[in-house]
Amino acid sequence: MIGPEPLGWRAVAPTEPDPPSRPGDLRPRVHRDVVSFVRRSSRMNTSQQRNWDAWHDRYVIDVRRGERDTSVHPDATVDWAATFGRVGPLVVEVGSGTGDSLIPMAAARPDHDVVAFEVFEPAVASTIGRLGREGVENVRIVMGDAVEGLTHLFAPASIAEIWIFFPDPWHKLKHHKRRLVDAELARVAHRVVVPGGRLRLATDWADYAHAMRELLDAAPGWANDHPDDDGWAPRFAERPVTKYERRGLEAGRRVHDLTYRRLP
């Protein structure tokens, strides 16, 4: 966390220290002293509060918290088959924001079950309001850190695809350590994605795109789907143009897509 907590921040969950790792526990240890987000005011406007009250129980999965109110406790569990009422291919979106990609992409894949992680409560409220109004059934949201969530809430080789679109760029060199896509994310994602499954990324920041490509090209167990085109994937056709992409293009930046395949 950087700086003081902004006014309006409210603690949302009890805190408990993480337990020591259990013998035989093959999950990677995650070290989240530095995270890819900052605490912002969680004050919701009237319509977000209304969305929250109306749709929270249907779409938001409350998980046991760890040390921070955005943490996922190592002993937290979710039975995804029971949650969705079926066993469909699972897709996870990391950092879904206000759901501008999540909602149309999930609606276009009604046979998939889509789990989104987002730490910013007002954005979750906006997302669930739209999900409810549009009657999209195959989405659930965990309000918490995706790296911990991927580590603790999913069985090995259980996710068909992970999507990370326009992660916060953290421009300053001293903040690069906050970037979401790092070696830890590559390791955590590798455990949970099914062999042959995909990690799909997009960013409008060239230096972050190059850093992701370098990192994932070198990451054990991942193969770039498009090695012959300098490693860049064609634009993922299912991905709608969101405000982040539009802003980048208007500022003259190229949007880079990347697709990695989980090796057996």
Ligand X SMILES: C[S@@+](CC[C@H](N)C(=O)[O-])C[C@H]1O[C@@H](n2cnc3c(N)ncnc32)[C@H](O)[C@@H]1O
Could you say which residues in the range 103-132 bind ligand X, by CB under 6 A? 117-120, 123
User: Rounded CA gap, 98 and 70, in Å?
Assistant: 17
Supply angle C-alpha 156, 162, 163, rounded to 5.
170
User: Rounded CA gap, 228 and 224, in Å?
Assistant: 9
Could you say which residues in the range 219-258 bind ligand X, by CB under 6 A? 242, 244
Residue nearest to ligand X (CB): 95
Contact in structure between 234 and 256 (CB atoms under 8 Å): no
Phi, psi dihedrals of residue 68, rounded to the nearest 5°: -110, 165
Member of 69, 121, 145, 257 binding ligand X (CB under 6 A): 145
- Closest to ligand X by CB, 170 vs 232, is 170
Question: At closest approach, how far in Å is the CB of 257 from ligand X?
Answer: 12
Stretch that binds ligand X, among 50-58, 91-99, 103-111, 153-161 (CB under 6 A): 91-99
For residue 59, give the amino acid letter.
Y
Member of 37, 52, 59, 80 binding ligand X (CB under 6 A): 37
Q: Please tell me whether residue 186 binds ligand X under the rule CB under 6 A.
A: no
Contacts made by residues 1-7, CB under 8 angstroms, sequence distance 24+: 1/35, 1/38, 1/39, 2/38, 3/38, 5/39, 6/39, 6/40, 6/41, 7/41
Could you say which residues in the range 158-177 bind ligand X, by CB under 6 A? 165-168
- Closest to ligand X by CB, 162 vs 180, is 180
- Closest to ligand X by CB, 55 vs 244, is 244
Annotated catalytic, 217?
no
Member of 36, 127, 138, 224 binding ligand X (CB under 6 A): 36
Q: Which of 114, 52, 56 is nearest to 89 (CA)?
A: 114
The catalytically annotated residue of 100, 113, 145, 168 is: 168
The catalytic residue positions are 168
